[in-house]
Chains A and B, each alone.
Chain A
């Protein structure tokens, strides 16, 4: 008799951390679940990416672009007034909102566009939800003289007219996606369909740490500049590592970027903050880790929001950047191994943090980042005054003022 016994023992991270494995797995998560037509091209991409990582010329160019074009390093700002108001730990904000284009997304698009150029691809495509990744892709396409096509759900196009216009100003074509739920996941499906059709000429710039291997690793590596800088800046400022890192998680690229350089420092706690939308109990949320279960979508195995038949279900968050039914596979593994804790923050809690930081520090955070900030308001008072929290302020809030006004019944 064949019998597989699944023990109740929690899986543990091995140290030093060396994931993903050669096939792109993080424990049972990740991998390559794509149609055969894409298997050759993603293998080619994996090889090109791996070679680029040991090529001093590539790394030097990436570094120069991040410094002079993106504006790195981004400041690590001690939010003194806000920390004192909350009472408890000292809260530092990693100011990714001060990057060119206003969010962390550009760290990754610069890296992938340089890789695309190195591979001789003249056309880049991207999916976008709120439009931030689309804008960051259109920006680098303009910078490097590449054709750019951005797929965006029809619903999102209506909600984010300004970003659509911004992409067009940058020379990108924005293609409306009318299939399925007409949002980010459908835009990603359509980008995959474009890629499979134009695979010889086209580089698909995925915006988060999801998709088939090597994307989760590659995007993590490009975003890890966030955590590396935090490490150095915190050593300079406080002479020690932080006690806790907090970041919002949609796909999870800003969170992985912050966490990854600290992964072997187990005394540094990681908190990933998902969108609880109207509340987990309402079913209207985007907390794949908190309330979903493992499955396969968009090229990788990870936690998903799905129904009992395995169909992907619509999500809700006030923040379009968190409004995605999956999550990067590395987060799935960090959850199962308890290396990171995943919590959820509702729309209302995020809005309240948005106002709070804006009024207290004169910094208007993106609604995505406001989820991380809202969790900091819960965590900080439970810690001592000499303990250190870093919140990834992944983007600026200018793009969200219409959403905030609408939600609060204000006509601009």
Chain B
């Protein structure tokens, strides 16, 4: 069983939902990333998602665009991101790591070289925003050969027919994009998200995570009610940006937000017993 699958299995046993924070690798500096990953795990993250900087991040809102621009000033390449994961694995061998990015850096490295380097570095899952399953056949052969999970997106515009196709190519979990828009956008409706998540679950036994637009503990609680995982990105990266010149303050802010989300999500799963008193 992959690290991602066993993490979800363990969470299910304790009735908890996964909290998955996202940060962009090398933002605001290369040395910041690995300690920040450890801090996020300490604050309650179950899985960490690391953004691979790309010059043309078409699905990102302004917050993550700026994070990627800062990382690119530091010349953070895909190879450099893999080195960070390797370093993270020195002291954390259990927390699953997902790389989230765009296809072109992977194309340049080559599918075979990438899959093998990612597995060696200790990566568990790959999410490439601009690669739908239709175009992923050749890469899937390589990632499966290295026991890497390929995580694909399902969107509000995805038809049932496409969902079937997507879940067939997926492993690890399904990432439901909660809104029509870019990362960090507003207007999250948990009711509509719930309907869609249930719809996806009729077609797969894989866990379903939800991301895009989850900004605070309340939203995390609402989404944890209907999904198996909550992904938080832009809201965290905003704190990283605000405190880019004060690393202790950055750790404090990131830790605070994640702990609030963690407590909100866990409080929720204990609610039945509380309600029973």
Contact = CB atoms under 8 A, between A and B. Distances in A.
Given A32-B132, A199-B180, 5 more contacts: A37-B153, A189-B57, A296-B131, A298-B56, A309-B78
Interface stretch (B12-20, B154-162, B192-200, B242-250): B154-162
Q: Select the residue from B130, B156, B182 with max chain A CB neighbours within 10 A.
A: B130
B10 interface: no
A223 to B, nearest CB: 25
21 contacts: A33-B103, A33-B130, A33-B132, A35-B59, A35-B155, A37-B180, A39-B158, A179-B65, A179-B69, A180-B65, A189-B58, A197-B181, A199-B180, A308-B108, A309-B77, A309-B78, A310-B107, A311-B55, A311-B72, A312-B55, A312-B56
A351 B102 CA distance: 38
A293 to B, nearest CB: 8
Contacts of B152: 36
Contacts of B185: 197
Interface residues of B, number: 45
Nearest to B153: A36
B173 interface: no
Contacts of A40: 155, 157-159, 162
Q: Select the residue from B108, B134, B152, B166 with max chain A CB neighbours within 10 A.
A: B108
Q: Select the residue from A180, A198, A298 with max chain B CB neighbours within 10 A.
A: A180
Given A33-B130, A33-B135, A304 B59 contact: no
A34 interface: yes
B108 A37 contact: no
Interface in A278-320: 294-299, 301, 304, 306, 308-313
A343 interface: no
Contacts of B254: none
A41 interface: yes
B55 A36 contact: no
A31 interface: yes
Contacts of B154: 36
- For the complex of A and B, 5 pairs with smallest distance between CB atoms: A310-B108, A310-B105, A309-B77, A37-B155, A36-B153
Contact of A310 (B104, B129, B153, B177): B104
A165 to B, nearest CB: 27
B177 A311 contact: no
Contacts of B72: 311
Interface residues of A, number: 39
Interface in B55-86: 55-59, 61-62, 65, 69, 72, 75, 77-79
A23 to B, nearest CB: 7
B237 to A, nearest CB: 15
A34 B177 CA distance: 14
Contacts of A192: 58
A199 B155 CA distance: 12
Given A180-B55, A297-B56, A36 B132 contact: yes
Contacts of B88: none
Contacts of B156: 37
B54 A311 contact: yes
Contacts of B158: 36-37, 39-40
B113 interface: no
Contacts of A199: 157, 180
A193 interface: yes
A34 B56 contact: no
A39 B182 CA distance: 15
Given A35-B155, A37-B177, A306 B108 contact: yes
A295 B130 CA distance: 12
A196 interface: yes
A168 B233 CA distance: 37
A309 B108 contact: yes
Interface in B117-160: 129-132, 134-135, 152-159
Given A40-B159, A311-B105, A197 B59 contact: no
B164 interface: no
Contact of B79 (A36, A186, A198, A309): A309
A312 to B, nearest CB: 5
A196 B108 CA distance: 26
Contacts of A72: none
A294 B61 CA distance: 27
B58 A36 contact: no
B54 A296 contact: no
Given A37-B157, A310-B107, A310-B108, A197 B182 contact: yes
B83 to A, nearest CB: 13
B162 A39 contact: yes
A185 interface: yes
B155 to A, nearest CB: 4
Contacts of A311: 53-55, 72, 104-105
Interface in A360-386: none
A3 to B, nearest CB: 11
Contacts of B157: 36-41, 199
Contacts of A189: 56-58
A268 B155 CA distance: 46
B109 interface: yes
A193 B108 contact: no
Contacts of B54: 310-311
Given A189-B58, A304-B104, A196 B109 contact: no
Contacts of A36: 132, 152-155, 157-158, 166, 177
A39 B157 CA distance: 8
B165 to A, nearest CB: 10
Nearest to B135: A31
A31 B139 CA distance: 15
Given A40-B158, A309-B77, A295 B58 contact: no
